[in-house]
Amino acid sequence: MTQPIALITGATSGIGEATARLLSNNYRLIICGRREDRLRKLKDELKGDVQILSFDVRDKKAVFNAISSLPKDWQQIDILINNAGNAHGMDLIHEGNPDDWDAMMDINVKGLLYVSKAVLPQMVDRKKGHIVNISSIAGLEVYPRGNVYCASKHAVDALTKGMRLDLNEHGIKVTSIDPGLVETEFSKVRFKGDSDRAKQVYQNYTPLTAHDVAETIEFVLSRPAHVMIGDLLILPTDQASSTIVNKKSN
C-alpha cells in the first residue's frame, strides 16, 4: 500500500525538522523551507521518499508555484503540517517595530493561509485529509510584551476553529497543537541572534524539546479515521502558564 503524503512547512529546524525525522519511516514527505541547503541535507539523512520545496510562505505566488510544481504522483497530499512561524522582539506595544509586526503576521497568519489554500482543494475533492496547525500557548493566553506575536497565534487559533467548521462536511480533520516553552532556534530569532539572551529563556528548568512536540504530532496523526484530536496544549512539567514557570535556583 502506498504511504500517505505529508507536507511540512518550516522543516529546516526545530519542530518541523524533528517531525520530518520522526515521520520519515511511515510517510512520503514534502519538506518545505527557505533554506534549501538545509532541506537538501535533511533529505539526504532521511529514509524513504522525500521531495524538497524551497519557498518563503510569505510569498503567495511562490507558495502556489511551488506546490503546483510537484510531480503528479505527489499532488494528493494527505497531511498538511503548518509549522512555519516566527516571533520577533518583545517590545511594549508603543515601542514595537512595525517591520517585526509585518514579519509575524505575514508568516504566522498569511503564510498559513496561503499554504492551506494551495493544498486544501484536492483534499476537499477527495473528502480526505488532515490539517495540523502548530500554534502556541500564546494563542490561548496573552503575556506582557507578547502583544503582536500573541495576536498572530490567536489568529491561528481562530483559523483552526474556522477550518474545522468549514471542512467538517468534507471529512477533513483539523488539529491545533499549542506548545509551551520549547527549546529551539525560536528565541534566538526572537532576540535577533542574541544567543546569550536566548539561552536564558531555557535556564533553570526543563523545557520541551522539538522531538517532544514531534511525538505529539505523530500521535495525533496515528488516531483511527473516526477520531480527531481537536486542540492539544503541551507544556513542560515546570510550566503552568505563559508567565508561571517553576525555575530552580542554582
Supply the residues annotated as catalytic: 149
Closest listed residue to residue 130, CA positions, set 200, 209, 228: 228
* Residue carrying C-alpha cell 539526504: 44
What is the distance between the alpha carbons of residues 10 and 67, in angstroms, rounded to a whole number? 15
Task: Decide if 145 contacts 91 (C-beta within 8 A).
Answer: yes
Question: Helix 147-167 crosses helix 98-105 at what angle (to 10 degrees)?
Answer: 20
Task: Decide if 243 contacts 144 (C-beta within 8 A).
Answer: yes
Cell of 96: 514595537
Output the CA torsion sign for 150, 22, 62, 185: positive
